[in-house]
């Protein structure tokens, strides 16, 4: 299975970069995981937020294949336990789909056109996280999911 994470913004903090790289390295026996960083649209006027989100949305959608299974990270998405998340990945894999795409929006969220394209909307928590933290948490949870599916120690 190929997993792609499309995320708006760059990770600048070394500790976050190191954590993400560590989990990407750990994931290599289980799946090919690639992160695509997009430059978020610059918002100089709060009244233009929707226009900026639409521009970001068009960039995001241009990177997604028609046959990709898309999971967006959204506040109003469904919360899953780690075990349920693992089952979701297994379900996607067993369906014959080979391209799984996760989308992490900017600090302003996601465009409606991106949310509408989602096959599944995932909420990490009712709490709010910096979107840079969301990337680290996501790669750790993907790694945890594969460990759960392979019945390997780590997840307990």
CATH code (residue 127)? 3.40.1280.10
Residue 154 lies in a domain: no
Q: How does residue 60 score in pLDDT terms, banded at 50, 70 and 90?
A: very high
Q: Which residues contact 28 (CB under 8 A, 6 or more apart)?
A: none
Asked whether the beta carbons of 82 and 141 are under 8 A apart, the reply is yes
Q: Domain of 24?
A: 2-149
Please list the residues that pair with 120 across neighbouring strands: 71
Residue 56 lies in a domain: yes
pLDDT tens digits, one per residue of 4-37 = 999 998 999 999 999 999 999 999 999 999 999 9
Helices (H), 28-71: 49-62
Residue 74 lies in a domain: yes
Half-sphere exposure of 143 (CA within 13 A, CB side): 20
How many independent structural domains does the chain possess?
1
Residue 155 lies in a domain: no
Residue 40 lies in a domain: yes
**Rg of the chain's alpha carbons, rounded to an integer?**
15
Q: Which residue in 50, 37, 45 sits closest to 8, CA to CA?
A: 37
Residue 156 lies in a domain: no
Residue 66 lies in a domain: yes
Alpha-carbon distances, residue 140 vs 45, 91, 110 (angstroms): 35, 19, 22
> Does the predicted TM-score (pTM) go above 0.85?
yes
pLDDT higher than threshold 90 for residue 53: no
């Amino acid at each position: 299975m190929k997993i792609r994470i499309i995320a708006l913004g760059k990770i600048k903090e070394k500790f976050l970069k190191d954590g993400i790289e560590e989990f990407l390295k750990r994931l290599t026996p289980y799946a090919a995981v690639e992160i695509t960083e997009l430059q978020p649209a610059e918002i100089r006027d709060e009244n233009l937020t929707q226009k900026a989100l639409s521009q970001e949305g068009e960039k995001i959608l241009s990177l997604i294949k028609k046959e990709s299974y898309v999971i967006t990270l959204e506040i109003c998405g469904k919360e899953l336990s780690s075990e349920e998340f693992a089952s979701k990945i297994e379900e996607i894999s067993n369906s014959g789909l080979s391209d799984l795409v996760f989308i992490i929006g900017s600090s302003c969220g996601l465009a409606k056109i991106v949310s509408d394209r989602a096959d599944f909307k995932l909420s990490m928590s009712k709490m709010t996280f910096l979107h840079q933290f969301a990337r680290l948490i996501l790669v750790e949870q993907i790694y945890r999911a594969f460990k759960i599916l392979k019945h390997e120690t780590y997840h307990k």
